[in-house]
Amino acid sequence: MSRKNLWLYHTASLDMHNIEEPSDRASIDDEGTSLSKTNEEVKKPRTGYEWKNGASICLCAAASILFLNILFTIIAASRAQQSSRSFEAETIFEGSCTKAKRWSTGFHILINVLGTILLGASNYCMQCLSAPSRKDVDHMHAHGKWLDIGTPSVANLRVMSWVQIIIWCLLVLTSLPFHILYNAAVFSALSSNAYGVVAVSPDGPIGSTNSTTSACYEDLVGKDVVQVQAMYQGKELESLSKEDCIKAYGAAFLTNRRTLLLVTNNSSISSPGLFVGVGSPPTSVDDNQNPFDWMCTGPDTDLYGDFGSGTSQCLQSAVLKHVNGWSVTAEPFASNDIVVAGTGFAFTRQNYSDLRYSSLPQSTRADIMDLGAFLESPFNTVNDTLGFIQSQSWQTQRFESQLNVYMSDSVCATDSRTLSVSPPQYYSVDHCLSEKVEEHCRVMYSPAICLVVILCNAVKVICIMFTIRIRRKELFFTVGDAITSFLKYPDRTTLGRSWVDQKEAKSVFTKPRPMKSRTLPPRRRWHYAVGRRRWALSVTW
C-alpha cells in the first residue's frame, strides 16, 4: 500500500470513528406514548477566572449579613426601653429569667452562625488575594525562589500588588471585632434580690410596734412593718416547708423571692419579730460573701458548713442534711447599746468597723478600731468604757476629751453577724413564709459594639467587591491545582525533579544543576518528614 493510500485509509478510519452514533433512543413510558432524548453535555473551556464565582457568592453572603446586622440593630434600638438609653448598653427585654435565657441563647446561636459565614467568606477572599498564579510561580522559579501553595501564607505577600496587600490587610483587621466583640453585642443580665429574714412567733408578725423598732425594721428588711403585716393577713405569703425554704433561699442569686419570715414554735416573740439577717447577692466576681450565711447561725455551726478553713462557708447541702434540727440566732431590731460619739463620728460595737476607710485622719481611725475592739467584749458598761478610755495612750491628741459615751435604747441591729444579745438566743424553725415577686432579668445589647460590627462588615463587603475586580487567572488554591497545571504545562525549573527528597528540594533553587536518573531511595516513615528541631519543640511545648 502506498503512502498516499495509507494516508487516505487513515483519514477514512478517523472519519469512521468520528461518525456519531444516533443518540436519540426511543423510550416507552408507562403508557407507551412518550419519547425522551439524551444529549451529551458539552464542557465549557476553562477561563482561569472560575475563582470569581466563589468570590461572588462570598459577596452575596457578606452583603446579606450586613443587611441583617443593620436590620437587627434598628429593631433592637426601637425596642429599647426609654429608661435604659445608653450608648454602652440598652435593655430590649425585661421579665422572666427563663425567657431572657432563651432569648440570649437564640441570639448567640444566630450571631455565631452569621459570624462563621462572614469569616469564611472573608478567609476565602484572602486566599484569592494571596494564592499565587501560574505566572507568579514561573516568575519566582525563574529567579530561584519559591511560593507557598495550598495554604494561607504571609510569604506570598511579596508577589502581591499594593492593592492586593491593602485589601488583604483590611480583611484581616476587620475580622478581629467578629472574633472578639461580636458575641458581646447581645448579653443577658441576671437580677438578684436582697432580702431580710425575720423570726416570728406561731401567730405571725401581728401586733403593735413602737416607732424605733419600725424604723429599724424598715431599714434592715427593706419593707415597712405595716406592709409585711398586710401581706401576712392577706395570705400573700407562700408557705414553705423547711426543706423547700432552704432550697429556695440557699442560692447565690435569688430572682423570684424576697422577704422571708421564719415561723418558730416560740410564742414569746413579740411583734414584729426578731431580726435574723439579710441575704445579699455578691457585689462582684471576687466577692466571697455567702448570701445565705444566716442559715448557719445555729448552735451546731460546724454541722452546717465548712468552717474549719480561714473563711466560713455555709453549705446548702449541709443544712438540708440536718434540717430536722435547723435553728438560727436572732436579736431585737432595736436594743440598748453603748454609743461613742466624737467630732464628726459616732459608732457602736456593731458598726465601728465601717469607719476604717472613712475620711477621718489615720490616727483617729486607728484609735476608733482599738476602742471598738474593746466594746466587742461582753457585759461592758458605760463606766467600764470610760475607764478604758482614760487608761489608754491614744495616737490622736486629746482623743479622750472629745468623746461622749452613753447608753442608747434605739440602736438598730446590723446585718453583720455580731449580735447584741449575749449569750445568743437560738430559735428552732418550724416552717417559712415567703414573699413571691416578679423576675426582672434582662436581655441587653450594646449599640457601640453593633456599630463597630456594622462598620467592619461594610468594609468587608467593599473589600470583596474590589477583590472580584482584580484580574488574576489560573490561581493555585490547592496543591491539586498546581499538579494539574504542571502536568499540562511542565515547569522548566523543576522539570525531571519529581522524586527529589527533602534535602535536594532545598537546593533546587539555590544550586540549579541537571538532574541525573538514579534509583529511588528506600521507603521511609512519616516522622522523617519533620525535622528534629520541630519534633523537639512539639514534644517539649
Q: How many CB atoms lie within 10 A of CB 485?
A: 17
Report pLDDT for 437. 92
Helix axes 97-130, 447-469, angle to 10 degrees: 30
DSSP letter at 475? Answer: B
Q: Is the peptide bond before 423 cis (omega within 30 degrees of 0)?
A: yes
**What is the radius of gyration, based on Cα positions, of the chain?**
41
Mean pLDDT of 238-255: 92
pLDDT computed for residue 474 by the predictor: 84
In this prediction, what percent of the chain has a pLDDT beyond 90?
40
Task: Specify the 3-state DSSP secondary structure of 23.
Answer: coil
pLDDT at position 288, please?
57
Please write the tens of the pLDDT for every residue from 352-382. Answer: 888 999 999 999 999 999 999 998 887 788 8
DSSP 40-64: PPPPPPP-S-THHHHHHHHHHHHHH
For residue range 110-166, list pLDDT tens digits in order: 999 999 999 999 999 999 998 888 888 888 887 778 788 888 888 888 888 899 999
pTM: 0.68
pLDDT, tens digit, for every residue of 325-361? 899 999 888 888 889 999 889 998 888 888 999 999 9
The domains of the chain are located at 51-188+445-515, 195-333+419-438, 336-412
Higher pLDDT, 40 or 141: 141
CA distances 457 to 70, 106, 204, Å, are 10, 21, 62
Question: 57: pLDDT confidence band, cut at 50, 70 and 90?
Answer: very high
